């Protein structure tokens, strides 16, 4: 496998992010973080009692991908659905404040917003750690909601350079929406897919950004070595007709595969000891998509995504990377 080299000046690509227009379609998740200080052990059961400190709700899933596009300077329209509940209102307001266009996001009465509640606990003056996560998972959209999402996506694609598909398994990208997604490449809109469980459903997309575990599930065989991950990525990219596949590998960095080219292996940027990997894949796909929309090659888009990923895993919780942070990181590496 080849290793990283400078390519085009990465900073000059990141500067152009402000002229890029991205559509993100997929599952918006409310990432809720509840913090508490360990007070004592309960007499009712061998569990900690936490003294409540704070609750914070931020956009996760496709919402986090859209938030990262906005933080990096790109124009972004989010096509999704949320419930008309507290979590849905909180993430919609947060997205708007971040500069995300939520006019194409459908608010559904009587439906719950997918929510992941992470309980963080710690002793006084110590770093709080996640001790448990509680997930609230709604049913997939009904046919009426799906058709509304499909219509809004069809309209949004008319003004987009790249479409990011953020499929977390809650049903937004199924059915009639999937048909519109499949039409995007024929309309000249590159489609970049991040799918948690069903990457094969997006055959014909332009590119995909699975992590190593997701790729392993797609091929149905364990990945034990560098050569295994290359073989799996080449095989799946060919079977799905992708122009490129970007595989995130945690502390082992990123692998880019383009059929007909030598694979490109990029070592991790920054510390190998991540603070928090929550939502890191959303940052990677947002950066990769913006770079492609800004005229970068797949290799240079991968390099920028690798820098952004290295930055975001050093932040706690679901987080974003700004254009200024990315520029600083790229310049430090030159």
Annotated catalytic, 282? yes
Q: Please tell me the distance from the alpha carbon of residue 142 to that of residue 24, in angstroms, as a whole number.
A: 20
C-alpha torsion angle, residues 314, 317, 323, 328 (rounded to 10): -10
Q: Please tell me the distance from the alpha carbon of residue 226 to that of residue 289, in angstroms, as a whole number.
A: 25
Place of tokens 């997939």: 140
Nearest to 307 by CA among 258, 251, 268, 263: 268
Place of tokens 């997918």: 114
Q: Give the pairing type, strands 129-136 and 162-167.
A: unpaired
Of the candidates 27, 85, 174, 282, the residue annotated as catalytic is 282
Sheet architecture: strand order including 254-257: 105-108, 75-83, 21-26, 162-167, 190-195, 207-208, 244-248, 254-257, 264-266
Place of tokens 């899933």: 61
Give 94's contacts (C-beta < 8 A, 6+ positions apart): 57, 58, 59, 67
Residue 129: count of CB within 10 angstroms of its CB? 10
User: What residues pair up with 56 in beta bridges, in sequence order?
Assistant: 33
Q: How many C-alpha atoms does 246 have within 13 Å on its Cβ side?
A: 31
Among all residues, which ones are annotated catalytic? 282
């Amino acid at each position: 496998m080849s290793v990283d080299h400078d390519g085009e000046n990465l900073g000059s690509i990141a500067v152009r992010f402000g002229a890029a227009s991205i559509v993100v379609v997929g599952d918006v998740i409310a990432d809720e973080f509840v913090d508490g200080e360990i007070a004592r052990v309960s007499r009712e059961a061998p569990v900690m009692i936490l003294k409540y400190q704070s609750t914070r709700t931020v956009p996760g899933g496709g919402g986090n991908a859209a938030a990262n596009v906005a933080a990096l300077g790109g124009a972004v329209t989010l096509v999704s659905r949320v419930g008309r509940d507290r979590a849905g209102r909180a993430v919609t307001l947060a997205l708007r404040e971040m500069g995300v266009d939520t006019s194409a996001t459908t608010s559904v009465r009587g439906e719950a917003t997918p929510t992941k509640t992470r309980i963080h606990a710690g002793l006084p003056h110590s770093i709080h750690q996640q001790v448990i996560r509680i997930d609230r998972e709604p049913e997939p959209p009904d046919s009426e909601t799906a058709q509304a999402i499909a219509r809004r996506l069809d309209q949004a694609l008319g003004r987009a350079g790249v479409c990011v598909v953020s499929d977390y398994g809650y049903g937004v990208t199924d059915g009639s929406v999937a048909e519109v997604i499949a039409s995007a490449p024929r309309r000249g809109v590159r489609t970049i897919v991040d799918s948690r469980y069903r990457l094969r459903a997006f055959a014909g997309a332009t590119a995909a950004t699975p992590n190593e575990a997701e790729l392993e599930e797609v091929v149905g065989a364990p990945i034990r070595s560098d050569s295994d991950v290359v073989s799996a990525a080449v095989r799946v990219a060919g079977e799905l007709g992708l122009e490129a596949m970007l595989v995130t590998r945690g502390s082992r960095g990123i692998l880019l595969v383009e059929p007909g080219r030598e694979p490109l292996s990029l070592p991790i940027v920054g510390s190998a000891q991540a603070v928090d990997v929550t939502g890191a894949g959303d940052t990677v796909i947002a950066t990769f998509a913006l770079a492609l929309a800004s005229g970068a090659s797949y290799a240079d888009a991968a390099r920028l995504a690798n820098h952004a990923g290295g930055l975001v895993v050093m932040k706690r919780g679901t987080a974003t990377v700004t254009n200024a942070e990315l520029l600083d990181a790229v310049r430090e590496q030159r």
